[in-house]
Structure 1
Amino acid sequence: MSTRPTAVVTGLGIAAPNGLGTEDYWASVLEGRSGIGRITRFVPDAYPSVLAGELPDFDGAAHLPDRLLPQTDRVTQIALTITEWALGDAALDPTGLPEYEMGVVTASGSGGFEFGQRELENLWSKGPGHVSAYQSFAWFYAVNTGQISIRHGMRGPSGVLVTEQAGGLDALAQARRNLRSGAKYMIAGGVDASLCPWGWAAVASGGRLSRSQDPVRAYRPFAPDADGAVAGEGGALLVVEDIESATSRHAPKVYGEIAGYAATFDPKRGSGRASGLRRAIDLALADAHLAPRDIDVVFADGAGLPAPDLDEAEAIAAVFGPHSVPVTVPKTMTGRLNAGGGALDVATALLALRDGVIPPTTNVPAPPVRLGVDLVIGGPRRRPLAAALVLARGEGGFNAALVVRAPR
């Protein structure tokens, strides 16, 4: 047997379009309550897509010291806030730890778009003397890691992953590697927020968003009429630590273990070669020392586009057998949160293991039988759960698969 440290999750911090905080979010998911609607943070009429998952009533000033507000973008304010929530959930006070024992790994696909937009407006309308000095770093995709580590004195191994939707899974896997290299505690996950005109121009240009103006029909992964996704803001940050540390400090809860992980890269489009997603699943299961029959639920990536949905359905069916494992896409209630999406799915999977309930995929009819997917629709599905597989695919060919297991 391996003597490598067992990485467990002891704290969750969640900010999602359908709920701020873990239990608020989880209740919304089990009720099938969506956070998707018409964009309100700016007028979206000039854009091809007008729907998004916006955080409800999030105000950084309500959670952070005044001194941090002028130097941080909305995305960093979200990240700092949910870090506090995760640490509180884990009953972990970084000020009482040796400064090199705790590190931070976050994922981001965009950085501080809104901050950058505001400073560009200042530059062109008022002149260079009106551009904030904080612009030099507030826009950067690594800023969340930096600001979290500075605020909490976390000088252990840190980093940032930029692999779009797969980033949250990749960050958690890196946190597990850091524990195996000697770190004792990690903050890890992903957060993104690009709901401003400049950010939306970038998001909408990819051609992956639905143009529907009906929130019920706009994001329907595995549906015959799927025509794109809905983007959103938010994500999740998790406290990850060695089980021995959690036990010795009497951590109030252990949500589960990060048991297996793998990442692959898809071949060039048009090459005729298969997607690397099935290989990622196989490798993640092998890393967890589990067989396909040991997985009780798959949290799918759910691109909401016919070709990638078919790829994913074929990979799942090839590994588990057609209609042989429940599959769910709870992000139909939040939209795809870029780097925050995978991390939020992992947090959701851990809550599912805790409560023995598979959350539903909303607004999606039964997928075609030929896809071989047992999609959980119509409401939650209650059953004992021991292990879950979370899948994430980032634009550009990134595949990630991560296995979480219930506490043993």
Structure 2
Amino acid sequence: MSAVVTGVGVVAPNGVGTREYWEHTVSGTRGIGPITNFDASDYPVRLAGEATGFDPVDHIPNRLLPQTDRVTQFALAAAEWALADARVDPAQLDPFDMGVVTANSTGGFEFGQHELENLWGRGPQYVSAYQSFAWFYAVNTGQISIRHGMRGPTGVVVGEQAGGLDALAQARRRVRSGTRLLVSGGMEAPLCPWAVAAQSPNRRISRSDDPERAYRPFAAGASGYVLGEGGAILIVEDPVAARRRGAPVYGEIAGYRATFDPRPGSGRPPSLETAVRGALEDARTLAADIDVVFADAAGVSDLDLIEARAIASVFGAATVPVTAPKTMTGRLNAGGAALDVATALLAIRDGIIPPTVNHTGLAGGCDIDLVTEARPARIRTALVIARGHGGFNAAMVVRAPR
């Protein structure tokens, strides 16, 4: 056993905190709706998954509020909850034996927007000194490590949706190399005017105004995906050390593989299937041992077909249950895959596969067993698939504690 997950902290559009998120996910509660963070009436994208239940004043020390973007406030709160869930007091551990590796794709967009407004509207003397780091992709890692005195291996991964798996894999690698504990996962908050404007040219984002039809992966007539904010932070530990202190264990990070697609027009096939097979091989797990697949679920017809064919090729047509709970939250970029891993571990714990919502029927060629209502099941091993814009692919196998 190489690395285990002992704590989970979640901020999501359909639930703040792991318990609320999981209850709402099992019940199929959608967190997607009209954007309320700003007036989006003039934008081509008007729906999103907003974590409206999160108020940073309730979760973040006052002194940190003026120096942090919303994404870092999410990350700090989720890390605090994950450490408490794992029953870890960082003050009692060697600071050089704890590290932080997170994933992020957009940085502190909203903080940067406010400081640009100050720059152009009031003058450079009104730009916060915190702008020097609050916008940066690595700021979540830095703020978590400072707050908890973690001075071991640290890093940040930028791989869009795949980044959440890549960060957890890096945490696993560090544990295998001798570090006792890593705080890892992914978090995003890309829902301010500047961030939405930057993402709007991406034609994969749904232009629909109907929350029930905007994001329908693997469906006939799929129109793209919906943006979302949030993610998950997990505590990844050495299994011997976790067992010695009597830590709760959600499961093991058993296998992982990342690949990169060839350039468009090269004539070479996508490499998603290679990532899936590689993760199974790394976990020393047969395809028949996988009890559920948490799909990347792009919501774009050609990408959905690629994923459905990869799943069918590895597992057989409509053989393994496939689910996409992110239909309730939107795609959270780097936060999405980390949240899927957390969801897979909760599914293993409670023996239930959460549903894919809003589905109206599979598109032609998508020969998968898509779970559209919560399904009780004995789950020992789960596969999580993630893809990032530009060709990133990642797959991770998580397994019940042994």
- What TM-score results when the alignment is normalised by the length of structure 1? 0.98
Q: Which of the numbers 331, 344, 350 marks the counterpart of 2:326?
A: 331
Answering whether residue 206 of structure 2 is matched by residue 210 of structure 1, we say: yes
Partner of 1:392: 386
| Aligned counterparts of 2:379 and 2:240: Cα–Cα separation in 1 | 24
Matched letter for residue 278 of structure 1: E
What are the residue-to-residue correspondences of 1:306-345 with 2, within 5 Å? 306-345=301-340
- Are the counterparts in 2 of residues 15 and 78 from structure 1 also a CA contact under 8 Å? yes
User: SS of the counterpart of 1:106?
Assistant: strand
Q: Is 1:256 aligned to residue 256 of structure 2? A: no
Q: Distance in 1 between matches of 2:137 and 2:365?
A: 40
Q: Do the aligned residues in 2 keep the contact of 1:226 with 1:306 (CA within 8 Å)? A: yes
What amino acid sits opposite 2:309 in the alignment?
E
Return the alpha-carbon distance in structure 1 between the equivalents of residues 31 and 283 of structure 2: 34
1:223 partnered with 2:204: no
The question of 1:358 aligning with 2:353 is answered yes
CA distance in 2, matches of 1:256, 1:357: 15
Q: Deviations 1:150-170 (Å, cap 9, x if unpaired)?
A: 110100101000000001100
Tell me which of 97, 106, 111 is aligned to 1:110.
Answer: 106
Matches within 5 A, 1:76-87: 76-87=72-83
**SS of corresponding position for 1:388:** strand
Q: Corresponding residue for 1:401?
A: 395
Hey, what does 2:159 align to over in structure 1? 163
> Which residue number corresponds to residue 150 of structure 2?
154
Counterpart in the other structure of 1:382: 376
1:119-153 CA-partner distances (Å, limit 9, x unpaired): 00000010000000000000000000000001101
Q: Is the 8 A contact 1:366 1:375 kept in 2?
A: no
| Cα deviation digits, residues 58-112 of structure 1 (max 9, x gap) | 1111111111111100100110000000000000010111110100000000110
What corresponds to 1:371 in structure 2? Answer: 366
| Structure 1 gap ranges (5+) | none
Are the counterparts in 1 of residues 221 and 363 from structure 2 also a CA contact under 8 Å?
no
Report the Cα offset of residue 369 of structure 1: 5.8
Separation in structure 1 between the aligned mates of residue 360 and residue 213 of structure 2, nearest angstrom: 10
Q: State the percentage of identical aligned residues.
A: 64
Which of structure 1's runs of 4+ aligned residues deviate more than 4 A?
Answer: none
Measured in 1, the distance between the counterparts of 2:204 and 2:44 equals 11
Q: Name the structure 1 match of 2:263.
A: 268
- Contact 2:161/2:334, CA 8 A, preserved across alignment: yes
Aligned length: 402
Quote the Cα distance in structure 1 between the aligned partners of 2:100 and 2:348: 25
Question: C-alpha distance in 2, partners of 1:195/1:337?
Answer: 11
1:9 aligned counterpart, secondary structure? strand
For residues 51 and 24 of structure 2, what CA distance do their matches in structure 1 show? 13
- Structure 2: segments with no counterpart, 5+ residues: none
Aligned to 1:123: 119
Match of 2:168 among 165, 172, 183: 172
Query: Which residue of the other structure, out of 279, 282, 293, is the alignment partner of 2:277?
Result: 282
Q: Give the 3 Å change call, closer, same or farther, for CA 91–280 of structure 1 in structure 2.
A: same
Residue identity matched to 1:170: D
The offset of 1:374, in angstroms, is 0.6
Q: Distance in 2 between matches of 1:321 and 1:347?
A: 26
* CA distance in 2 between partners of 1:315 and 1:303 (Å): 14
Query: 2 CA distance for matches of 1:107 and 1:204?
Result: 22
Query: Aligned Cα RMSD in Å?
Result: 0.8
Cα deviation, 1:328-362, whole Å, max 9, x if unaligned, reads 00000000001000000000000000011111000
